[in-house]
Structure 1
Amino acid sequence: MWTMPPADTVLHVLLPVAAAAQAMTAALAAGRRSMDWLGVCLLGCITALGGGSLRDVLLGHYPLVWVENPSYLAITIAASLVTIAIARVVHRLHLAFLVLDAIGLVVFTIAGCDVALELHESLPIIIVAGMITGCAGGVLRDILCNDVPLLFRSELYASVSAVAGAIYVAALWLGLNHDIATALAFAVGLAFRLLAIRFKWDMPKFVFTDERR
């Protein structure tokens, strides 16, 4: 039986950072689509909070995180507005987008695993809950911006989430302190994602052509 470990300081510090990071990726994406300020804020909230909301609905975990803690709404809106203010002085928006997205991916994956642990779910459900929390917000962002989601490209994205979640759960199973498990999963997951971007690691592609044409 999986049990929920005691709340840790590291995750509580990283979660607002991850929410802000995801909101900023959404604001940058919205800026490339010339959205108005309201659209930027809405996209920021959907990106930062959508994965956790979907996870909670699927697992029957209520109230939703942002309903229980409205401060997350304030954080995502503030981060979106700050991004509007500083976007013109950020010269490498693409690099910033990828780093911020990687931070959000890994931290939300760990948070999603925690929720499933709290509900005493089985190991596969714990990992999937982490992946949904980490990946779904970015998918919603890309769909609303009319982009092909990162999750569905050949890049290592969902696999990074799965590895980070597996390391986190394995560390807890081995009896490591919750803070250490969180820090370890965060460090490995973030490094894995950034190295995959740097060296263009990707998954095998499925290419099918109908030779009868």
Structure 2
Amino acid sequence: MSFLSIIDILGTFAFAVSGAFSAMEKKLDPFGVIILSFVTAIGGGTLRDVLIGDTPVAWLRNGTTTLVIIAAAIVTMLFDKFLKRFSITLFLFDAFGLGLFTLIGVEKGLQLQFSPGICVALGTITGSFGGVTRDVLLNNVPLVFRKEIYASVSILGGLLYLLLLRVDMLSHLATIISILFIVAFRIVVVRYKLALPKFY
């Protein structure tokens, strides 16, 4: 397996768990939990692939994705009672999913030789829009539109990745550093309640 494939699987698992937790908080039945896991894990990547004309979309061409999502949903349902800090666990999985999928989207843009701005946009879409769809289905205001800095973290992480590649850093190392940056930034944002300025 390539390094990018490993990152993709980890991101899929992380977002699937995040979706499952959100569904369980709303008391959905097992079918609903699995559906929310799918939506959260593949929503951003599906939108990205449709936008760039890469069809059939990635998860339809890769049976591993479906298995990973179902496994993540089942594991979450079986072992949620053993997770002592429910909200923190959800947050960490969401943060890692954001970091992992942002880099997947940026890398896909680079493979297609898009401009840096478009690559970062694809990374942000991949990292954020599964969560947007999840929140809409759960009748919540999407996290990306609320006061917490979310999509901006994805944008900064994508820019950092491109900058590290520009200075000839190994792509694997640049990927790891950028993912950790996104996760750490999300932790700082939530810990200190940082937000973008309001104009109303």
Pairing 1:168–2:165 present: no
User: What amino acid is aligned across from residue 25 of structure 1 in structure 2?
Assistant: S
CA RMSD of aligned residues (A): 1.3
Cα distance in structure 1, aligned partners of 2:51 and 2:29:
32
Cα distance in structure 1, aligned partners of 2:29 and 2:148:
30
Partner of 2:117: 124
TM-aligned CA deviation for residue 78 of structure 1: 0.7
Cα distance in structure 2, aligned partners of 1:32 and 1:184:
32
Determine helix, strand or coil for the equivalent of 2:113.
coil
Larger Rg computed on CA atoms: 1
Contact 2:9/2:65 (8 A) holds in 1: yes
User: What amino acid is aligned across from residue 106 of structure 1 in structure 2?
Assistant: G
Determine helix, strand or coil for the equivalent of 2:159.
helix
User: What amino acid is aligned across from residue 18 of structure 1 in structure 2?
Assistant: G
**1:27-42 map, 5 Å:** 27-42=20-35
Pairing 1:186–2:179 present: yes
TM-aligned CA deviation for residue 18 of structure 1: 1.7
Pairing 1:115–2:108 present: yes
Greater share of residues in helix = 2
- TM-score w.r.t. the length of structure 1 is 0.90
TM-aligned CA deviation for residue 12 of structure 1: 3.1
Find runs of 4+ consecutive structure 1 residues off by over 6 angstroms: none
Cα distance in structure 2, aligned partners of 1:130 and 1:100:
18
Percent identity among equivalent residues? 38
Cα distance in structure 1, aligned partners of 2:30 and 2:198:
37
Cα distance in structure 2, aligned partners of 1:117 and 1:183:
17
1:79 to 66, 72, 79: 72
Cα distance in structure 2, aligned partners of 1:205 and 1:100:
28
Partner of 2:128: 135
Determine helix, strand or coil for the equivalent of 2:198.
coil
Q: Deviations over 1:3-23 (max 9, x none)?
A: xxxx962x4333212211111
Instruction: List alignment gaps of at least 5 residues for structure 1.
Output: 1-6, 208-213
2:36 to 16, 27, 43: 43
- More displaced stretch, 83-92 vs 128-137: 83-92
- More displaced stretch, 127-136 vs 27-36: 27-36
Cα distance in structure 2, aligned partners of 1:104 and 1:201:
20
Structure with more relative contact order (C-alpha pairs < 8 Å, separation 6 or more): 1
Q: Deviations over 1:59-96 (max 9, x none)?
A: 11233111121111110111011101111222221111
TM-aligned CA deviation for residue 205 of structure 1: 2.3
Partner of 1:145: 138
Partner of 1:4: none
